[in-house]
Amino acid sequence: MADRPEGSAKQGSNKPALELHVPEPTYRPGDPVDFAHITVPEAGKQPRPDENCEAIETSPLCYDLVRVLGDDNKAHGPWDPKLDAETLRTMMRNFAMVRAFDERMFRGQRQGKTSFYMKCTGEEATSISAAMALASDDMVFPSYRQQGILITRGYPLIEMINQIYSNKGDKLKGRQLPIMYSSREHSFFSISGNLATQTPQAVGWAMASAIKGDSRIAATWVGEGSTAEGDFHSACTFATVYNAPVILNVINNQWAISSFSGFAGAERTTFAARALGYGLAGIRVDGNDPLAVYAAEKWAADRARANGGPTLIEHFTYRAEGHSTSDDPSGYRSAQERDEWPLGDPVMRLKRHLIEIGEWSEEQQEELDRKCVEEVKAVTKEAEKNGILGHGLHHPFRTMFEDVFEELPWHLKEQSEQAIRERETKFPEGRPGA
Amino acid sequence: MTTDVKKKPAAETGTERRLNMIEAINEALDVKLAEDPDVIVMGEDVGYFGGVFRATAGLQEKHGKTRVFDTPISECGIIGVAVGMGAYGLRPVPEIQFADYIYPGLDQLISEAARLRYRSAAEYIAPMTVRSPFGGGIFGGQTHSQSPEAIFAHVSGLKTVIPATPYDAKGLLISCIEDNDPVIFFEPKRIYNGPFSGYYDKPVEPWKRFDSSIVPEGHYTIPLGKARIAREGEAMTVLAYGTMVHVAEAVCEEKGIDADILDLRTIVPLDIEAIEASVEKTGKCLIVHEATRTSGFGAELSALVTERCFYHLEAPVERVTGFDTPYPHSLEWAYFPGPVRIGEAIDKLMEA
Ligand SMILES: Cc1ncc(C[n+]2csc(CCOP(=O)(O)OP(=O)(O)O)c2C)c(N)n1
Ligand SMILES: [Mg+2]
């Protein structure tokens, strides 16, 4: 029984009754959507402090929104990274590739070729443009929605698909859930399914780099919902205490499965403003503006590399699709949100900018999109030769016991023998398809 | 009060209702929310959406946003605030979306909830029930498949409950919520929709084909610490809980083994009397769990049986478990302690 009798706060006392506030998103399924309450400042109007400024000087940027691409599709203001046309076209190629890849893999899951997939539609800039602003050997600690980094860093598509199909070609030996990649060669840390664990790890890597007098920095990506985890708080505290050369990218795509950003505190302040309490530099950026994302990430990278310290960047964006193949967002949010999203689509915005500056055309875009679709299709076919999930073309049973430890202790040896014996009992004539 | 569905079938309650495990859990929460204004249901995605497995569907709409609500993604926070709510006098029922994600909440559970009664000499208690789907068999990879029950069983002050049928799920969950101590309620997600024979290539048989899905309306409880005899026999005792009860049953059926199968239902507190009675009768004991082997709950069961029934044993106790590796994605069915592994152990015991 509760400490006080029911309703006692109201009875016999003139003290006001306390009320619990439970956040509620503005729109639910079927609601008409009007994002008028989201302030979209004019592109180019945000001040750009020096990379080596005191963290406190970034305070205004924590409540603003750094934007470069205007409604006129031109680049504006001090944050314009002034990228050459070739770089912009490379960025566009990465965008188109990620879209084509996501489309195909999503379909593959629907066709039963694997168990799970996650798209990053609408958020491509937050990984691709950001990764392009880093050195290729800067260490990244991503969450599960940064396939854009791998594609930017030239990780072979076939490796990604082998991993997604959990087949015999999968370098991770079919151990991880699809999309939980790892590539040390690409300075890409092994993805964990446990949210926000990567954030203090990135700080630790950055501290190590500083301990050793290295020049490489670290960057991490975490969803806005996941910033509620204690790990993120630890990351911020350690980052500031040791002035670690690290970038903390918070991807505010408004949703964490069915929970809107209000359940991570967004009703009261911005995610960028978290930086202030810790003494980190903070920037809130239009995550659907590829040039702004690039510029913000570059600012933070230059700062970290010059021993200026860590930066927290909030990428304000929108998760245009479901959380994963296991999710149907029509059960909890208005389908109109995607169309009404006031910051548009990053791929379209980059395309229009390239066309605006005379470096691109609709025909070139169509050609690029088509090529990407074809390439993904061809590589998918190639990967399927290594098998799809559940069709026998997996790694040998004994591999299940490897890498638990560096060496196999007696009990794992016994268990490995057990597994192989069971296979012989189950498939006396060999595994079908294997 | 306990209702035994086998003896008192639906005739007494009028209509015979068959629910799957999710529906049974939902109904337990619904009953308690309606009966007790101190019950609070919360967790990631449990409010408006009704949970990623739909276990809390419709509850927010029915009982209001301050009784059933979403939380930030912080398992430490979820369990920590549940301790605080319990200190006030509420009866929180937090959900952890997957057992694999309970670890950030361990300090609040192990150091706080589990010991609050003891350290305050019962001035404060933590009457919470932490619900969480656990176990593998759904291609969830290493972060949606674990069975960490032994970690909790090892902590003094925590109860650990694992239902194996819809009928039990409802009655046990109501008991847990009414219990004044912190309880971990692990829901075997592989059997949410139907029991599992261990043959993954066969389609799931829905719960409604089984009488254990007959769930009475309203309030009923199943006491914590009382095992269920899933199958009566003489040839050997099988100790299991959750998904593995059904796999063991299917294997014994298939092999024609007249086994005494105990569904433990709660591992802390444990129904030691039922275990002793069965082992004394059969003289042989097989323990089956999906969790990893080393220091798994089977080790405790094996020690207890050996300590207490040694002179009745005709053969060494056998354990069938998951392997001591993380739950692999593609080799899920090679990992899972399925019919072949269980069959081997049964043969060994039968030959002894
Ligand atoms: C520790 C932990 N708790 C819960 C989950 C289940 N879970 C997976 S993704 C997710 C939502 C994350 O949302 P957000 O951080 O906003 O990232 P987004 O999916 O939007 O990219 C949840 C709750 C998990 N993977 N790990
Ligand atoms: Mg999010």
What confidence tens digit (pLDDT) does each residue in B134-179 have?
999 999 999 999 999 999 999 999 999 999 999 999 999 999 999 9
Cβ distance A194 to B70 less than 8 Å, yes or no, reads: no
**Max Cα separation, chain A?**
82
- C-alpha to C-alpha distance for B325 and B142, rounded to whole angstroms: 10
For the stretch B247-299, pLDDT in tens is: 999 999 999 999 999 999 999 999 999 999 999 999 999 999 999 999 999 99
Ligand 1, residues at Cβ distance < 6 Å: A 145, 193-195, 223-226, 251, 253, 255-257, 319, 323; B 44, 73, 75, 97, 101, 104
Cβ distance A415 to B293 less than 8 Å, yes or no, reads: yes
Q: Which two tokens stand for residue B337?
A: 């302690």
What is the distance in angstroms between the Cα of B68 and the nearest Cα belonging to chain A? 10
b/e per residue, B177-186, with b = 16+ CB within 10 A? bbbebbbbbb
Sites in chain B below the pLDDT cut of 70: 1-14
CATH number of B225-351: 3.40.50.920
* The domains spanning B17-191 and B225-351 adopt the same CATH topology: yes
A8 has pLDDT over 80: no
- C-alpha to C-alpha distance for A228 and A356, rounded to whole angstroms: 41
- Which residues touch A13 (CB under 8 Å, ≥6 apart)? none
Between A434 and A418, residue with greater pLDDT:
A418
Examine the residue annotation and report whether A319 is marked as an active-site residue of this protein. Answer: yes
Catalytic choice (A332, A352, A391, A398): A332
Cβ distance A425 to B48 less than 8 Å, yes or no, reads: no
Examine the residue annotation and report whether B219 is marked as an active-site residue of this protein. Answer: no
Cβ distance A166 to B340 less than 8 Å, yes or no, reads: no
pLDDT at res. B6: 43
Between A3 and A365, residue with greater pLDDT:
A365
- Which residues touch B42 (CB under 8 Å, ≥6 apart)? B68, B69, B70, B71, B78, B81, B82, B92, B93, B94, B95
Return the amino acid letter for B91. R
CA A108 to chain centroid, in Å, comes to 21
A1 has pLDDT over 90: no
Look at the domain B17-191 and name its fold.
Rossmann fold (3.40.50)
A432 has pLDDT over 50: yes
- C-alpha to C-alpha distance for A333 and A24, rounded to whole angstroms: 11
Burial class (CB in 10 A: 0-12, 13-18, 19+), A214: middle
pLDDT at res. A3: 59
Cβ distance A404 to B326 less than 8 Å, yes or no, reads: yes
Chain A neighbors of B76, CB-CB under 8 A: 229-230
A13 pLDDT band, cuts 50/70/90, is confident
The DSSP line for A120-154 is -TT-HHHHHHHHHTS-TTSEEE--TT-HHHHHHTT
For the stretch A305-357, pLDDT in tens is: 999 999 999 999 999 999 999 999 999 999 999 999 999 999 999 999 999 99
CA dist A353 to A44, A104, A254, A359, B214, Å? 15, 27, 25, 9, 63
- Selecting from B66, B73, B326 the residue whose C-beta is nearest the C-beta of A228 gives B73
The average confidence (pLDDT) of chain A is: 96
Mutate to test the pocket of ligand 1, among A123, A146, A226 (most ligand atoms within 8 A of CB): A226
- Selecting from B74, B89, B294 the residue whose C-beta is nearest the C-beta of A229 gives B74
The phi, psi pair for B246, rounded to 5°, reads -75, -40
Burial class (CB in 10 A: 0-12, 13-18, 19+), A94: buried
For the stretch A403-424, pLDDT in tens is: 999 999 999 999 999 999 999 9
What is the distance in angstroms between the Cα of B264 and the nearest Cα belonging to chain A? 26
pLDDT at res. B196: 97
Residues 79 through 108 of chain B touching chain A, CB cutoff 8 Å: 88-90, 100-101, 103-104
- C-alpha to C-alpha distance for A267 and A25, rounded to whole angstroms: 9
SS (H, E, C) chain B: CECCCCCCCHHHHCCCCECCHHHHHHHHHHHHHHHCCCEEEEECCCCCCCCCCCCCCCHHHHHCCCCEEECCCCHHHHHHHHHHHHHHCCEEEEECCCHHHCHHHHHHHHHHHCCHHHHCCCCCCCCCEEEEEECCCCCCHHHCCCCCHHHHHCCCCCEEECCCCHHHHHHHHHHHHHCCCCEEEEEEHHHCCCCCCCCCCCCCCCHHHCHHHECCCCCCECCCCCCEEEECCCCEEEEECCHHHHHHHHHHHHHCCCEEEEECCEEECCCHHHHHHHHHHHCCEEEEEEEECCCCHHHHHHHHHHHHHHHHCCCCCEEEEECCCCCCCCCHHHHCCCHHHHHHHHHHHHHC
Question: How does DSSP classify residue A41?
Answer: P
**Domain chopping of chain B, boundaries:** 17-191, 225-351
A249 pLDDT band, cuts 50/70/90, is very high
